[in-house]
Amino acid sequence: MKNILVTGGAGFIGSNFIHFLLKTELKVNIINLDAFTYAGTLENLKDLPDMDRHTLVKGNICDQDLLADLFQRYAIDTVVHFAAESHVDRSISGPGPFIQTNIAGTYMLLEAARNYWAGAKKLSGVNVRFHHVSTDEVYGSLSPSDAAFTENTPYAPNSPYAATKASSDHLVRSYGHTYNLPFTITNCSNNFGPRQFPEKLIPLIILNALNGRKLPIYGDGLQVRDWLFVEDHCEAILTVLQNGQTGETYNIGGGNQPANLDIVHMICDLLDETCPDSPFVPHRDLIEFVTDRPGHDRRYAMNIEKIRNTLGWQPKHSLQEGLKKTVQWYLSNVEWIAAIRTQQEYQHWLAENYDKRESSI
């Protein structure tokens, strides 16, 4: 593992992975390919630990010529594929970009890797790997009494987003079986932490609460999720890259199952403690229940015994610890928040989701 192509490396998880990887003792070169759609920003790549080992390329994973050039020019031996449209609500209102990026884009990337690795003399004897980052949503929804998802749980995606990620998982697996492409897949639970775009639940709640805006909760707020601190996720991916068996899938989760309403309560209480002079204390008073979204999965839960038992990985952060770090990061990074607010796409998103008479988050 020497020259790593990271797709979507200016987004939330991808940028955190790059920061994490450059802090390790591994002497790897990172080629970061990002299309800079609404959730990708240069702000996420500021203050990288070792800029000399990071090359940023603006481009789309659907550009076959660009991909071929990158593999050839940088002698790519490892792919870590984060690039994806990832927000369920957006997939419901407009599934087209999800099909294009998540399915067609993954196909283009697989083709580029297969073609280059099959004919690259300079990589003779080098172990190559295509690592695909996926989601627990491919498994569908659980009832309160169901056992947690395992790597053998049948796929049953319920949203256009989940369906496109399931499709890309199957594509990756098929390339391994048909073309002997060395691959691994990780299916992760809900990530949270620094640099997450403010449309996601946890940063949305933090930033709305700080500004006295309503805290919207879908339905009764009792939907259950497994929450994974992003730094733990990055460590898990690196563990799989270094020690995971090719052709294997690994579930990654945080080992918790709170209801969404519980998450919001925890954030409000952390803000009450951290910002006691805020005029919006107690922040729980800002909670507002709104109409549930169509087809909202009721419960996700991840069984992580496989990665724990075979690779020795388990999350280091408890939910409370991760939330405390996350709240502190947003409180300490007002410049990042200001930069995100000015992005045109984000302003468009705000206009669609909030009363225009209200101020930004």
Residue 345 belongs to a domain: no
Residue 77 belongs to a domain: yes
Residue 48 belongs to a domain: yes
Q: Which value, in Å, is the radius of gyration of the alpha carbons in the chain?
A: 20
CATH (domain of 49)? 3.40.50.720
How far is Cα 86 from Cα 104, in angstroms, rounded to an integer?
A: 15
Question: At residue 179, what are phi and psi to the nearest 5 degrees?
Answer: -110, 5
Q: Are 89 and 137 in contact (CB under 8 A)?
A: no
Q: Which helix (H) or strand (E) holds 319?
A: helix 319-332
159-196 per-position pLDDT tens digit: 999 999 999 999 999 999 999 999 999 999 999 999 99
Residue 306 belongs to a domain: yes
How far is Cα 122 from Cα 226, in angstroms, rounded to an integer?
A: 43
Q: Which helix (H) or strand (E) holds 265?
A: helix 260-274
Instruction: Tell me the range of 24-33, 82-91, 341-350 where mean pLDDT is highest.
Output: 24-33
Residue 178 belongs to a domain: yes
80-94 per-position pLDDT tens digit: 999 999 878 889 989
pLDDT of residue 102: 97
Residue 221 belongs to a domain: no
Question: What residue type is 234 in one-letter code?
Answer: C
Residue 198 belongs to a domain: no
Split into its structural domains, the chain has a count of 1
pLDDT at residue 361 is higher than 50? no
163 lies in which domain range?
3-193+228-253+296-317
Please state the pTM of the whole predicted model.
0.93
Residues with catalytic roles: 136-137, 161
Q: Give Cα separations from 321 to 80, 141, 219, 315 (angstroms).
A: 27, 27, 27, 11
Residue 329 belongs to a domain: no
pLDDT of residue 357: 35
- Which residues make Cβ contacts (< 8 Å) with residue 192, sequence separation at least 6? 200, 202, 203, 227, 228, 229, 230, 322, 323, 326
How far is Cα 242 from Cα 129, in angstroms, rounded to an integer?
A: 10
